[in-house]
Structure 1
Amino acid sequence: MKKLYKLMALGALSALTLAACSDASSVATDEGETSAEEKVIQDQLGRDVTIPNDVERIVVGGILPYFSTWYVGTNSTEEVVGLHPNAYNAAENSMLANISPEILDASTDFVKNGEVNIEELMKVDPQIYFENSSDEKTLEKVAEAGISTVGLQTIQVADADPLATFNSWLKITSDIKGGEVTERADRFIEEGEKVQTMIDEGLTGVEDTEKPRVMFLHRHSDKSIIVGGANFFSEKWIKATGGTDIVGDDGVEGQKEVNMEQIYAWNPDIIYITNFTETQPDDLLNNSVSGQDWSEVQAVKDGNVHKVPLGIYRWFPPNGDAPLMLKWMAQINHPEVFDYDINEEIKNYYSDFYEYELTDEDVDSILHPSSDAAKY
């Protein structure tokens, strides 16, 4: 397997040095000229975006994880004055709420019935509005109000690689805030490379027949079962940690709604449940989901059902705890190979990268997140 970080290292390490800068003279752009107080960056739609040199107020819309990337890059959430309600639920149940509690001061009032309300958005006076690049309607709507908009890609980046995606967002953050972000980003990239190398070396000699058959339950209720397939974050996590992606390998792309008959046909050895659903492992292990019988699924029989952790943010999409996600999954997929103490690994990581000392209770809350973090 090619190392998960190869593309990330080649692209992100060089790109981080290209942050746009401005001086006392004006800068020519396709839309005119910027003032001495402004500069031009390029977002992930390839658009030139004029922003202030000193950005102090940002709003994060439907690109839900980005607020945590901002923190990882800048060591601050004071600038985040607005946050999508679906992201706020994760934030208030994350360790970031303890490390940088200013994130809880962010307003969610600018989202009404799932749509951006420009009048409410203007009340928080953002200098930049971040949005998923696929939501062109919102990007245009906010830009028409005179607010600089930055489009960020998700699964389009590096073939749905969550780690490369995260680092591409750090590159944008570096363009906006400058050198200190670049230095912090380099450390995260290096750590990710180191962890992936450790996993690859540990899996040397492990045959495909020895790899567990893994499934991600992405969204779930008694009325709907949605799994993650190929060209989605689930595929990357599974293959990077020595698993077999039974959903993606069966031809399922992205997210797909399935029935229990399909679950029986796949019969996964391990099930991971994301933080985008309120479902907990006990719901499957106790077979308590109305209208669904999980008792005959191998992962349930073996008690091998796991809720994806939530630390600085949800661990499933791009996030600053990605090296920990790799270690956590690798140990579950191959406990006979990876015998480190994951609790200590988490403590050491937070101490090194966030300068925050976790308690045992903190670690437990990361590894067993509340269903409240998934409420919409």
Structure 2
Amino acid sequence: MKKNLISPIVLILVVVVAAYLVIGQTSYPPLTGPISVVDALGRTVQVELPVDRVIITGKSAFPITSVAYMFSSARSVLYGLDQRTASVPLFRAVDPSIDAKTVSSDLGAGSDAPNVEELAKLNPDLVIFKTVVKLQVAESLESLGISVVYVDLENIDSYLRDVRLMGKLFGEEPRANKIAGYYEEKYRYVLSKTSSLPLSNRPRTLFLFYSVKGGTISFNAPGSRWLQTMMIEVAGGYPLSKELGGGGWNTVSFEQIAQWNPEIIFIVTYSDNPSPASVKENILHDPLWRDVAAVKEGRVYAVPDDSHLIAIGSWDTPNSRWILGQLWMAKKIQPTIFTELDLTAEVRQFYREMYGLDEVGAGEIMQQITGDL
């Protein structure tokens, strides 16, 4: 008899809980109507939701696109992409119809002053720029009734803030909170193991961008305020680039490198010709470098990259995969502290959870990765 009496009670509880969950789902802010947001420049911007036509362009637009594609609605509202962005394997896996979103007109992709006239012709609801794009461009577009929002994405705090901002713009705030939570969890995991390390336990680490721009070979190190410098410090190293000024790239001579005598060197080229791996091999076998500690110990590493297009897929830049670069650096700089960190599993989880790829899709992107994963 007791067994028969329990079943109706359980049934009532299930119905009540289900009804509560349905009501709870409706408690989210409405996804239609005007909203007011504060962008990375501190500007208050009015945006009408839902946004149906969104353009991301201008200088350093690729990090923004990499974040946008973590939101499912981006697949239907993004357009005006340049051909280079549309060729990224990860974006193509997430958005099979990406070719239809590209434009041949000159919107000023890569410029700090995108073409206002060409942008306006495409009649967007919203344009998203990186903070390096000139404010006059936004003002001109806004005078035409087009909303413009700036994002930064240059450090952990601005990354979390801007992910949540984009979640509001795409009408997916719960998703934005999940994305931000993932980044914060992984970042705090690394920091929790390295924050108390004394200077004596932090290997001298040098991040180098090998450039052949204009036919001139140069080695460049990031400034003290750049993401790469922060990543090395969080990963448990002493970033030699802390000794350089500000942001931007600083050309460094071999004499300076030899004086620093780094114990670890990370190499990027943002190119396949030459690739980071080939530059790494040249350094390891060049007699000029043989007395550098990192070369002696074989601790020269090519930074992983999953798209091989300028800096779009390199894991040190402020695109969505920088968090993978953070985990990777931690494993390379402090291997004994991060023995339990399974990078392959972390990377696979990232592509699945952040971009919604299935096991096969995640595996295909992983096969694209170059560098010393």
Scaled by the length of structure 2, the TM-score of the pair is 0.74
Q: Which of the numbers 106, 110, 122 marks the counterpart of 1:124? A: 122
Contact kept, 8 Å, 1:219 with 1:227, in 2: the verdict is no
CA distance in 2, matches of 1:228, 1:300: 21
Please list every run of 5 or more consecutive structure 2 residues that lacks an aligned counterpart in the other structure.
1-27
Contact (CA 8 Å) 1:229, 1:252: kept in 2 or not?
yes
Does residue 229 (structure 1) correspond to residue 230 (structure 2)? The answer is no
Q: Work out whether residues 66 and 169 of structure 1, in 8 Å CA contact, stay in contact via their aligned partners in 2.
A: no
Between 208-217 and 268-277, report the one with greater CA deviation.
268-277
Residue 40 of structure 1, aligned match among 28, 36, 39: 36
* Alignment correspondent of 2:369: 366
Q: Does 1:320 align with 2:301?
A: no
Which residue of structure 1 aligns with residue 333 of structure 2?
A: 333
Aligned counterparts of 1:107 and 1:147: Cα–Cα separation in 2: 19
Structure number with larger C-alpha Rg: 2
Question: In the alignment, which residue of structure 2 is the partner of 1:55?
Answer: 51
CA distance 1:206–1:40, change in 2 (3 Å): closer
Partner residue in 1 for 2:157:
164
2: distance between equivalents of 1:196 and 1:146?
39
Paired residues of 1:78 and 1:102 also in contact (CA < 8 A): no
| Alignment match of 2:102 (pick from 91, 99, 106) | 106
Provide TM-score, normalisation by structure 1.
0.73
Equivalent in the alignment of 2:238: 244
Q: Cα gap change, 1:328/1:91 in structure 2, threshold over 3 Å: closer, same or farther?
A: farther
Identity rate, percent? 23
Q: How far off its partner does 1:55 sit?
A: 0.5
Q: Distance in 2 between matches of 1:200 and 1:154?
A: 19
CA contact (8 A) 2:303 2:315 kept: no
Q: Which residue of 1 aligns with 2:208?
A: 217
Question: 2: CA distance between counterparts of 1:239 and 1:296?
Answer: 24
- Equivalenced residue count is 325
Q: Which residue of 1 aligns with 2:14?
A: none
Conserved? CA contact 2:227–2:316, under 8 Å: yes
Per the alignment, residue 174 of structure 1 pairs with 167
CA distance in 1, matches of 2:104, 2:239: 37
Partner of 1:282: 277
2:91 pairs with 67, 84, 96, which one? Answer: 96
2 CA distance for matches of 1:300 and 1:107?
46
CA shift at 1:269, angstroms?
2.3
Please tell me the residue identity of whatever aligns with 1:348: Q
Q: What are the superposed Cα offsets for residues 279-326 of structure 1, whole Å, 9 maximum, x if unpaired?
A: 4233323438xx996555443451522224337954323343344222
Which residue of 2 is the match for residue 139 of structure 1?
138
Give the CA deviation at 1:243.
Answer: 0.9
1:15 alignment partner in structure 2: none
**Cα distance change on mapping 1:263 and 1:335 into 2, 3 Å:** same
Match of 1:354 in 2: 355
Q: CA deviation at 1:38?
A: 4.0
Q: Say which SS state the counterpart of residue 335 (structure 2) adopts.
A: coil
Tell me: CA distance 1:364–1:270, structure 2 relative to 1, closer, same or farther (3 Å).
farther
Q: Mind listing any 5+ residue stretches in structure 1 that lack a counterpart?
A: 1-18, 24-36, 156-160, 370-376
Whole-Å Cα distance in 1 between the matches of residues 368 and 228 of structure 2? 22
Determine the C-alpha separation between the residues in 1 that align with 2:126 and 2:192: 43
Amino acid at match of 1:56: D
Specify which structure has the bigger relative contact order, considering alpha-carbon pairs within 8 angstroms and separated by 6 or more residues.
Answer: 1
Residues 189 and 116 of structure 1: CA distance in aligned 2, closer, same or farther (over 3 Å) = closer
Name the structure 1 match of 2:267: 273
2:148 counterpart letter in structure 1: T
Q: Does residue 257 of structure 1 match 2:260?
A: no
Q: Provide the rounded CA distance (Å) in 1 between the counterparts of 2:117 and 2:226.
A: 35
Cα RMSD after superposing both structures = 3.4
Match of 2:177 among 172, 186, 192: 186
Instruction: Tell me the alpha carbon deviations over residues 215-249 of structure 1, each in whole angstroms, 9 at most, x when there is no partner.
Output: 2224622433321121110121111111111121x
What's the CA shift string for 1:111-138, capped at 9, x where partnerless? 3594523343234321111222342233
Contact 2:36–2:44 under 8 Å retained in 1? yes
